[in-house]
Amino acid sequence: MQSRFERQVNLNGFGEEAQRKLRQSSVLVIGVGGLGCPALQYLSAAGFGRVGLADGDRVEISNLNRQILFSEGDLGKPKASTASRLLSHIHPDSSFIAFDEFIRTKNVVPILSGFDIILDGSDNFETRYLINDACALLGKALVFGAVHQSEGQISVFHHADEKGRIFNYRDLHPDPPSRDQIPNCQQNGVLGVLPGTLGLMMASEAIKIATGYGKTLAGKMLYYNLQQTSFYELEIGQNEKGRKKMPHTIQELESRDYNLPCIQSKEMDWAEVLKMWIDKPKVHVILDVRDLHEKPELEMAACIRIPLQFLKEQARLLASADTILIFCQSGGRSREAAAILNRIFPDKNIFSIKGGIDAYAKTMKIQFDER
Partner 1 sequence: MDTQDQNLKSQEIKVMAFGILAEKMNASECSIPSVRTVSELQKKIEELYPEVSRIPYSIAVDRKLAHADTPVSAQNEIALLPPFSGG
Contacts with partner 1, residue ranges (CB under 8 A) = 31, 33-36, 120-125, 128, 145-149, 151-153, 171-173, 175-177, 180-182, 184, 188, 190, 195, 221, 223, 225, 228, 232-237, 239
Nearer to partner 1, 219 or 331 (CB): 219
Name the residue nearer to partner 1 (CB basis): 171 or 267. Answer: 171
User: Smaller CB distance to partner 1: residue 85 or 173?
Assistant: 173
Strands 303-305 and 141-148: unpaired
Phi, psi of 76 (to 5 degrees): 85, -10
Question: With respect to partner 1, which residue has the nearer C-beta, 146 or 306?
Answer: 146
* CB of residue 205 to partner 1, shortest distance in Å: 16
- The CB-of-30 to partner 1 minimum distance in angstroms stands at 9
Q: Smallest gap, in angstroms, from Cβ of residue 167 to partner 1?
A: 10
CB of 119 to partner 1, least distance (A): 10
- What minimum distance in Å lies between the beta carbon of 237 and partner 1? 5
Nearer to partner 1, 8 or 84 (CB): 84
Q: How far apart are CA 43 and CA 207, in angstroms?
A: 7
Q: Pick between residue 152 and residue 355 the one whose CB is nearest to partner 1.
A: 152
23, 116 contact by CB (below 8 A) = no
Q: Name which of 43 and 324 has its Cβ closer to partner 1.
A: 43
Q: Cβ closer to partner 1: 131 or 338?
A: 131
Shortest CB 6 distance to partner 1, Å: 33
Q: Report in angstroms how near the CB of residue 263 gets to partner 1 at its nearest.
A: 15
| Angstrom distances, CA of residue 58 to CA of 78, 163, 236 | 4, 42, 36
* Chain centroid offset of residue 96 CA: 17
CB 144 within 8 A of CB 222: no
Residue (235 or 279) nearer to partner 1, CB: 235
Q: How far is the CB of 345 from partner 1 (least distance, A)?
A: 24
Query: Least distance to partner 1 from the beta carbon of 96, Å?
Result: 20
